[in-house]
A = this chain, B = another copy of it.
Amino acid sequence: MALTRGHIVDAAMGILREYGLADLSMRRLARDLEVQPGALYWHIKNKQDLLTVLAGLILEPVGESVSPRGLALDIRGALLSVRDGAEVVALAWALDPEAPSPLLRLRTLLMGQGLAIGEARWGADALAHYILGAVTQEQTRAGLLRAGLLDGSGTGTDASFEFGLGLFLSGLAATAAGAASG
C-alpha cells in the first residue's frame, strides 16, 4: 500500500513520542513501515529534513499569546508534550534560525514591548536559548530517570522555569524602560 510522505512523518512522530530521539533512525522507521530503508529517500530528502518537519509539528499547538510570558510558557508546554521535543526543535532551530514561527513571534512581541528591531532579535534569541536549554535538561533528566541512572529528587521544574523566565522578562523591561527614557 502506497507509502507517502505523510505516512513516514506519522510513523516518525510515533517513534519519537513512544521511544525518543535515540530510537528514531531511518532504518527503524523503515522497519516499522515494512519497507526497505532506501524507499524513504524517494519521499524525503534526508533525516535532517524529516526532523525539521517534526519540529514544525511539535510547535504547531502553540497559540497566539499576546504576552512574551504567555508565549514562552506555551512553547515550553508544546515541547514538553513530545518526548525529546526540545532537542528536536533545537536541532531545527540551529540549522535554520528563521524557521520556527513561534520563535519569530517571540521577536515580534518583544518589539511591541518597546525594543528596537536588533535588540528584539537578540532578546528573542536569548529567550529561545533559555527555553530550549531548560526544557532539554528537563527531558534529559526524565530520560535518565526512566533508564534508572538517576534518583528522582527533581525540585519543582515548573517553578525553576518560571524563575528563569522572570529574570529575562524583568531584564527586558528594564532595558525597554532605559531605551524609552534615554
Answer whether residue A106 sits at the interface, using C-beta atoms and an 8 A cutoff: no
A119 contacts B by Cβ under 8 Å: yes
Assess whether B175 is in contact with A94, with CB atoms less than 8 Å apart: no
Contact flag A94-B137 (CB < 8 Å), given A166-B171, A166-B175, A172-B167: yes
**Which chain A residues (114-131) contact chain B, with CB distance < 8 Å?**
118-119, 121-123, 125-126, 128-130
B130:A126 contact, CB within 8 angstroms: yes
Check: A41 CB closer than 8 A to any chain B CB. Answer: no
- Residue from B95, B137, B163, B166 within 8 A of A129 (CB atoms): B137
A104 to B12, CA, bound (A): 38
Partner of A175 from B122, B123, B133, B170 at Cβ < 8 Å: B170
Shortest CB-to-CB span from A88 to chain B, Å, is 15
User: In the assembly, what is the distance between CA of A132 and CA of B137, in Å?
Assistant: 12
**Which one of A159, A168, A171 has the highest number of Cβ atoms from chain B below 10 Å of its Cβ?**
A171
Q: Does A134 contact B (CB under 8 A)?
A: yes
Q: A171-B169, A174-B170 are in contact. Are A164 and B94 (CB under 8 A)?
A: no
Distance (whole angstroms) from the CB of A48 to the closest CB of chain B: 11
- In angstroms, Cα B90 to Cα A141, docked, is 13
User: Which of the listed residues A90, A128, A133, A134 has the most CB atoms from chain B within 10 Å of its own CB?
Assistant: A133
Q: What would be 26 A-B contacts, judged by CB atoms less than 8 Å apart? A: A90-B133, A94-B136, A94-B140, A97-B137, A119-B163, A122-B159, A122-B160, A122-B163, A123-B164, A123-B167, A125-B160, A126-B134, A126-B164, A128-B133, A129-B132, A129-B133, A129-B134, A130-B133, A132-B133, A166-B175, A167-B172, A168-B168, A168-B171, A170-B170, A171-B172, A174-B174
